[in-house]
């Protein structure tokens, strides 16, 4: 059996002395690795930027410029008004043209 008493006593005293040492608090280590949220955030920001930077396209709202009111007669000789809204006319007949022909 080795006789290490002398050394053991030496190290015991050294340890006692080290009890006075101030041990630093466990550091909060921030790793440099990219987490999930960083790339996700970048992707979301890029998506939003893409949406906002797009030029607004002007949506043409076609307002009816012509209203065609026709009086039609069905098979029972009943008259009905039909109202159509359109932006153009294929043919146009003056509402007073009958006066010219039937005069």
Partner 1 sequence: MNHNQLDHILKANHRDAYLWARQCCSFDDEMAKDVLQQSYLKILEGQAKLKDVSKAKTWLFSIIRYTAIDSLRIAGKVVSLSDSYDPIEIHEEVDTTDYEGIIKHLPEMQREVILMVFYHQMTIAQSAEILQIGLGTARTHYDRGKKKLKELITKVQIQEEYGK
Binding site for partner 1 (CB under 8 A): 4, 6-8, 10-11, 13-15, 17-18, 21, 23-24, 26-27, 29, 31-33
Q: Which residue lies nearer to partner 1 by CB, 27 or 56?
A: 27
59 CB-side CA count, 13 A: 1
Could you tell me if 66 and 85 are in contact, meaning their C-beta atoms sit under 8 angstroms apart?
A: yes
The distance of closest approach from Cβ of residue 51 to partner 1 in the complex, given in angstroms and rounded to an integer, is 36
Short-list 68, 59, 75, CA closest to 91:
68
Q: For partner 1, which is the closer residue by CB, 11 or 47?
A: 11
Would you call 11 exposed, middle or buried from its count of C-beta atoms within 10 A (0-12, 13-18, 19+)? Answer: exposed
- Nearest distance from C-beta of residue 59 to partner 1, angstroms: 52
> Which is closer to partner 1, CB of 23 or CB of 61?
23
Residue 4 Cβ vs partner 1, minimum distance, rounded to whole Å = 7
C-alpha distance across the termini of the chain, in Å = 145
């Amino acid at each position: 059996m080795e006789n290490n008493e002398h050394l053991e006593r030496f190290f015991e005293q050294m340890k006692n002395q080290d009890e006075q040492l101030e041990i630093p608090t466990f550091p909060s280590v921030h790793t440099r690795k990219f987490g999930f949220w960083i790339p996700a955030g970048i992707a979301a920001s890029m998506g939003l930027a893409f949406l906002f930077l797009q030029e607004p396209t002007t949506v043409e709202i076609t307002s009816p410029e012509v209203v065609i009111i026709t009086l039609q007669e069905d098979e029972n000789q009943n008259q009905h008004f039909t109202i159509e809204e359109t932006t153009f006319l294929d043919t146009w007949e003056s509402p007073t043209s009958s006066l010219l022909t039937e005069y």
